[in-house]
Chain A
Amino acid sequence: MQQDRPMTRWERFKDNDIVWSFLHSPGAIVAATITLIAILACVFAPLIAPFDPFDPAQISLWDGKLPPAWIDGGQPQYLLGTDNQGRDMLSTILYGGRLSILVGLAAVCLGMVLGVTLGVISGYVGGVTDAVIMRIADVQLTIPGILLAILINGIGRAALPLELREEFAIYVVIIAIGLTDWPQFARVTRGATMVEANKEYVQAARIIGLPGWMIMLRHILPNTLRPVLVIATIGLALAIIAEATLSFLGQGIPPTTPSLGTLIRVGNEYLFSGLWWITFFPAIALVVLVFAVNLLGDWMRDALNPKLR
């Protein structure tokens, strides 16, 4: 139906099929809510968390290894118990999750920018450029992602002077995961680009005389972003897991500023002493976060795929 006046941005947003599909899919709403709560809780950790786990003044070794509040010996101010150094588990999880999400987002962004750029160029220019870029991606895909991340991470750490290692560990992890991620983005973008490049609006732009970079940037790129968005969401979950794995292996974020993965690793050492909560709660937090993000990605893939509707 056409109206007499053009729709405002808000009306167009409400009219959008994707928004409509979202509001009619309970799973997606739950997943989005959990993700949103998790992200907000982590971002505002300094405001919400009862303690600051990085402030030595608030930590007392005497309170170390306390069980959750509802178990005998637990103390009410430590809802989920404390770790071996006497840090409040709930606070550490919030701060840790913050780091995990930050690393995940940054790594996905890096992989996305790299992959989408190379993918569009590969799909639009074609020929030798395409062959070289895609073969590199193929070779990289034959190596398990986590191995590659460990490798890049190791090289990155070794390249840094000793005193900077802890400080820059987080950036090294981001780069390591981002560099492992790009082939997915490149492949999807390349495919979408090749479809778009044959459409008549691109031919029209070529006839107008626009240079290649302008066609790629203004015409092709905006039309390839849908599948990229899906991969980015699922990629976020994978990146969070990758960071946790690196940290669990002791290759990632140092224990002084722990991420969820580091927490799980530290707790793992105490698991057989019966101090299960040090590893259990961070693990649950990780699973819930990844599961919610994955659900969201799954819904998005269905909603954004015109063939499935």
Chain B
Amino acid sequence: MTDLLQISGLDVDFPTRRGTVHAARGVSLTVQPGEVVGLVGESGAGKSTIGNAIIDLLEAPGRVSAGSILFEGEELRGRSEAEMRRVRGDRIGMIFQDPQTSLNPLMTIGAQLVETIEKTSDLRGSRAEERAIELLEQVGITEAKARLRAYPHQFSGGMRQRVVIALALAGDPDLIIADEPTTALDVSIQAQILDLIKRLCRERDLGVIIVTHDIGVIANIADRVAVMYRGEVVETGDVAQILGAPKHEYTKSLIAAVPRADRKLERFSSVDYIEGGNKPFERIDIQTHWLGASRDNRGTGKAIEVENLDLSFVLQKAVLKRNRKMLQAVDNVSFTVTEGQTFGLVGESGSGKSTVARLIAGLYRPDAGTIRVLGQDVSTRPNSAAAREARRALQMIFQDPYSSLNARMRVMDIVAEPIRFYRLTENEAETRRIVGDLLNHVGLGAQAALRYPHEFSGGQRQRISIARALASRPRILICDEPTSALDVSVQATILNLLKDLQQELGLTMLFISHDLPVVRQMCDQIAVMRHGQLCEVADAETLFKTPRHEYSRHLLELMPSMELLGEA
């Protein structure tokens, strides 16, 4: 029996002005009908490149330079564009990451489906429409007939992704390539979409290649896994074997870096396979060093107190109040963060968790309620000297490492900005020395000061952000999804760094994340948010073992199962 898809010795090159980048080297992979093959790797590993190379949709100037792609025994390389277009619609379906952009916003769902059906089959007119309804029903969209007339914006993210899957199925393909199909979706929807893909694969005897960075997705859906690292497949095997007993060093450190949902670890071990060159964390003598100075009245008091916080955003402006459309982003939220602890704020997108963080940081002003930082009210008169003084004790680390640093400033000036502004040092020489110390401390080395942000990777940039936050000598650190834009191994090193720093400097942390396993690793106390309201506040271990609120239980159930993962 021939394989559905057989890739052997595939090389993909991207010639650039700085020399050729080998995005894939000697990649071999097979897919059988009725099988889900996971292609897993971190950013830049070349996993999406493989998917695009199969259907000849490589971004310019990429090209396949060697190897063969046999689809049902036929070579796909070297086909003309017209032939490939037939293959793409009819026999290989694609599901892309962002359902927002893979549907045409100006066409109804029905029109898009019918167009694809007519292009790939003999069905015309009302017959094609019937088929469209059938497809929508298959992907779990209720009242399919009525929804044919709907536009994409009338659908939620998960529903849109279902439509995209229906489109991929329209040509009745034998193979589906899904490129990060659930990355843009919330966890609760992610699980449904993965179930759907798996069900379709079994029912229709489809081959599915699922490209993802997420080990959790792999654990849930894949039968076999190929692990990619820097353009090469380093290990292929059964999902249980890869996750439970990885052989290759890279796979081992990748699996070890996955935050465990089932128990709390002290720190992530052996995760420095990718970002090599990060020095081990060096402790500094906090009593004598600049970083430890002016750190009086430390205790186990209350770092942040939030009482009955309200904030609504105007969605639609109007002169009359009753005509305005408002969104209650934060609704009567109260909690207290004890000094020296890490307090987690968890919720899905749109739950208002980041808004709460920005309210505390003073980026927004609340409509009602009070915020106290280290006992000082900062919300009633936010511009008073006392409030400003209290806010200096509070710094924030942001989600996107690419937009959180000013690209036009040297790292030196970025980190030194708060030191210079508040004149925290005697002279410029001392400032430079301290910036060097800080950069050393976060594992970048003092040399980094002379470079510009674009010369660093995402994880390294996040380290610069941390150094900048520390430069104000804060006592409270707000981390707003600090690792969700990072690869899993980089995430592990950053989380380790944050843990070390907290211990050493006695920082209070407000840790905002949608990722429950990460929160479990980091936090002492956890608050669960939904629709701007606080559902439950509990000790971390209590919450994970005996959640009280219904929504907390729901979220916990949706966590990717870690059963397959061995004892890392």
Binding site for B on A (CB under 8 A): 1-2, 5-6, 12, 20, 199-201, 203-210, 214, 218-219, 222-223
B444: min CB distance to chain A, Å: 12
Tell me whether chain B's interface is mostly helix, strand or loop, or mixed. loop
Contact between A207 and B361, CB atoms less than 8 A apart = yes
Stretch at the interface among B122-130, B233-241, B386-394, B522-530: B386-394
- Asked if B396 is an interface residue, CB under 8 A from chain A, the answer is yes
Contact between B400 and A208, CB atoms less than 8 A apart = no
Pick 27 A–B contacts, CB within 8 A, sort by A: A1-B18, A5-B447, A6-B451, A199-B403, A199-B404, A200-B400, A201-B403, A201-B404, A201-B405, A201-B406, A203-B361, A203-B363, A203-B396, A204-B398, A204-B404, A205-B417, A207-B361, A207-B362, A207-B396, A208-B395, A208-B418, A208-B421, A209-B418, A209-B422, A210-B421, A222-B406, A223-B408
A1 to B21, alpha carbons, bound, how many Å? 11
> Assuming A203-B396, A204-B404, is B421 touching A209 (CB within 8 A)?
yes
A209 to B362, alpha carbons, bound, how many Å? 10
B325: min CB distance to chain A, Å: 20
Contact between A203 and B408, CB atoms less than 8 A apart = no
Contact between A219 and B406, CB atoms less than 8 A apart = yes
> Which of B18, B392, B406 lies in contact with A223, CB distance below 8 A?
B406
A207 to B395, alpha carbons, bound, how many Å? 7
Tell me which of B362, B405, B408 has the highest count of chain A C-beta atoms within 10 A of its own C-beta. B408
Tell me which of B406, B407, B422 has the highest count of chain A C-beta atoms within 10 A of its own C-beta. B406
Residues of chain B with a CB closer than 8 A to A223's CB: 406-408
Contact between B394 and A207, CB atoms less than 8 A apart = yes
Binding site for A on B (CB under 8 A): 17-18, 358, 361-363, 388, 391-392, 394-396, 398-400, 403-409, 417-418, 421-422, 447, 450-452, 455, 465, 468, 472
Tell me whether chain A's interface is mostly helix, strand or loop, or mixed. helix
Residues of chain A with a CB closer than 8 A to B403's CB: 199-201
Interface contacts beyond A203-B358, A203-B398, A204-B396: sample of 13 additional A-B pairs, CB < 8 Å, sorted by A: A6-B450, A20-B17, A199-B403, A200-B404, A201-B404, A201-B405, A206-B362, A207-B391, A207-B396, A209-B391, A209-B418, A209-B422, A214-B421
A201 to B417, alpha carbons, bound, how many Å? 12
Please provide the 5 A-B residue pairs with the shortest distance between their CB atoms, ordered closest to farther: A200-B404, A6-B450, A200-B398, A222-B408, A199-B403
A205 to B428, alpha carbons, bound, how many Å? 20
Residues of chain A with a CB closer than 8 A to B417's CB: 205, 208, 210
Contact between A209 and B17, CB atoms less than 8 A apart = no
A308 to B289, alpha carbons, bound, how many Å? 49
- A201: nearest residue on chain B (CB-CB)? B406
A1 to B405, alpha carbons, bound, how many Å? 20
| Number of cross-chain contacts by CB at 8 Å | 61
A218 to B422, alpha carbons, bound, how many Å? 16
Residues of chain B with a CB closer than 8 A to A222's CB: 406, 408
Residues of chain B with a CB closer than 8 A to A204's CB: 396, 398, 404, 465, 468
A6 to B421, alpha carbons, bound, how many Å? 26
A222 to B410, alpha carbons, bound, how many Å? 13
Residues of chain A with a CB closer than 8 A to B472's CB: 208
A209 to B468, alpha carbons, bound, how many Å? 13
A40 to B132, alpha carbons, bound, how many Å? 68
A201 to B399, alpha carbons, bound, how many Å? 11
Contact between B363 and A207, CB atoms less than 8 A apart = yes
B552: min CB distance to chain A, Å: 29
- B455: nearest residue on chain A (CB-CB)? A2
Residues of chain A with a CB closer than 8 A to B465's CB: 204
A208 to B398, alpha carbons, bound, how many Å? 13
Residues of chain A with a CB closer than 8 A to B406's CB: 201, 205, 219, 222-223
Contact between A209 and B363, CB atoms less than 8 A apart = no
> Which of A20, A199, A209 lies in contact with B388, CB distance below 8 A?
A209
B461: min CB distance to chain A, Å: 11
Contact between A209 and B451, CB atoms less than 8 A apart = no
A130: min CB distance to chain B, Å: 14
A171: min CB distance to chain B, Å: 34
A292 to B452, alpha carbons, bound, how many Å? 34
- A2: nearest residue on chain B (CB-CB)? B455
A20 to B399, alpha carbons, bound, how many Å? 32
- A210: nearest residue on chain B (CB-CB)? B421
- B403: nearest residue on chain A (CB-CB)? A199
- A221: nearest residue on chain B (CB-CB)? B408
A190: min CB distance to chain B, Å: 18
Residues of chain A with a CB closer than 8 A to B409's CB: 218
A204 to B417, alpha carbons, bound, how many Å? 11
Contact between B396 and A6, CB atoms less than 8 A apart = no
Residues of chain B with a CB closer than 8 A to A209's CB: 388, 391-392, 418, 421-422
A214 to B417, alpha carbons, bound, how many Å? 11
A200 to B405, alpha carbons, bound, how many Å? 7
> Which of B18, B394, B407, B447 lies in contact with A6, CB distance below 8 A?
B447
- A20: nearest residue on chain B (CB-CB)? B17
A82: min CB distance to chain B, Å: 52
Contact between B363 and A200, CB atoms less than 8 A apart = no
A205 to B418, alpha carbons, bound, how many Å? 9
- B417: nearest residue on chain A (CB-CB)? A208
- B411: nearest residue on chain A (CB-CB)? A6
A222 to B406, alpha carbons, bound, how many Å? 9
- A6: nearest residue on chain B (CB-CB)? B450
A238: min CB distance to chain B, Å: 28
Tell me which of A2, A5, A20, A201 has the highest count of chain B C-beta atoms within 10 A of its own C-beta. A201
